[in-house]
Chains A and B, each alone.
Chain A
């Protein structure tokens, strides 16, 4: 069966510090991968998605970047965190080449607080 891992679960970082959040998927190959951010009490904002190694699409201009160094690894980074980067970050995957019907499977999330 497929599983998705995210770490760390919770992170408190000072403004201006770097960030690296990691997401890995097990039990599937060539998944589509996604990074979302969720502000408190709000819906999900798609930040990045990837359909293959090294292929990253950015949905919104921001202080963050993403990389996919391996098929089942997705990393969210920042060189200098801003207060507005605080939020709940969710990684998700969906079957690659799934066609028009694409259920997504979410990780447990990382709670980031920037002080």
Chain B
């Protein structure tokens, strides 16, 4: 079953603007990961944040995790047209090798 729920389902922004999407989950997790999927392609891992971390950065990406609220956010700063994709959160529920994926947020960056 899907553990994570992304919000919003879709987002349209202008190039140069920031994009923020959220992920909520229901049970305790070991870590939370974000993936990107370009149309018709496989998923690409973006960033992993552990349950004892609150914020993590990777290039133009910033991820936060609030375990008390069971939520995470992904911020893409200074967006580019190439950031157009679907973004998924995935949670690891202490099962070592299984991830539960949300339904994703589709981001469209207009040039």
Residues of A within 8 A of B (CB): 32, 36, 41-46, 49, 51, 88, 90, 92, 94, 98-109, 111
In the complex, the answer to whether B97 meets A106 with C-beta atoms within 8 Å is: no
Complex CA gap A105/B99 in Å reads: 12
* Residues A102 and B42 in contact, CB atoms below 8 Å apart: no
Query: Which partner residue on chain B sits nearest A103 by CB separation?
Result: B45
Question: Is the beta-carbon distance between A100 and B43 smaller than 8 angstroms?
Answer: no
Within 8 Å CB of B88, what residues of A? 43-44
Inter-chain contact B43/A90, CB cutoff 8 Å: yes
List of B residues within 8 angstroms of A88 by Cβ: 40
Chain B residues with Cβ below 8 Å from A109 are: 40-42
Whole-angstrom distance from the CB of B91 to the nearest CB of chain A?
Answer: 11
Residues of B within 8 A of A107 (CB): 42
The CA-CA distance from A107 to B103 in the complex, in Å, is 19
CB neighbours of A43 from chain B (8 A): 2, 88, 101-104
- Set B99, B102, B103: member contacting A102, Cβ < 8 A: B99
* B residues contacting the other copy or chain, number (CB 8 A): 27
Is B44 located at the chain interface by the 8 A CB criterion?
A: yes
Provide the residues of chain A in CB contact with B90, threshold 8 Å: 104
Minimum Cβ distance to chain B for residue A39 (Å): 10
CA distance A98 to B48 in the complex (A): 14
Instruction: Give the complex CA separation of A107 and B2 in angstroms.
Output: 21
Which residue of A has the minimal Cβ distance to B45? A103
Which residue of A is nearest B5, CB measured? A43
**Chain A nearest CB: distance from B49 CB in Å?**
10
If A42-B103, A43-B102, A43-B104 touch, whether A49 touches B97 (CB-CB below 8 Å) is yes
Given contacts A42-B103, A43-B101, A44-B101, contact A100 B94 (CB under 8 A): yes
A111 / chain B contacts, CB cutoff of 8 Å: 40
Bound form: Cα–Cα A46–B40 in Å: 18
Give 8 A-B contacts (CB < 8 Å), ordered by A residue.
A46-B99, A92-B43, A101-B48, A101-B92, A103-B45, A103-B48, A106-B42, A111-B40
